[in-house]
Amino acid sequence: MKEKKKVILTCTVCLSRNYTTEKSKNNTKRIELRKYCPKCNTHTLHKETK
């Protein structure tokens, strides 16, 4: 069974923390996804926080 790590995604425009997701532990790159931000009211780039 692969281990997963919980991460928080933050909007790059308004810096609000909107989403939580999981990624595998052996993945070293940060996640970047285009998600809907309710504060900005648009789809924006969301990046993984430390």
pLDDT in tens, 22-42: 998 888 899 999 999 999 999
Instruction: State the average pLDDT for the chain.
Output: 92
Structural class in CATH, domain 4-48: mainly beta
- Whether residue 9 contacts residue 31, with contact meaning beta carbons closer than 8 Å, is answered with yes
Q: Which helix (H) or strand (E) holds 8?
A: strand 4-11
Q: Where are the domains of the chain?
A: 4-48
Phi, psi (5° rounding) for residue 10?
-120, 140
pLDDT at 48: 95
Tokens of 44: 């924006």
Contact 33, 9 (CB under 8 A): yes
Confidence (pTM): 0.82
pLDDT bin (cut points 50, 70, 90) of residue 1 is: low
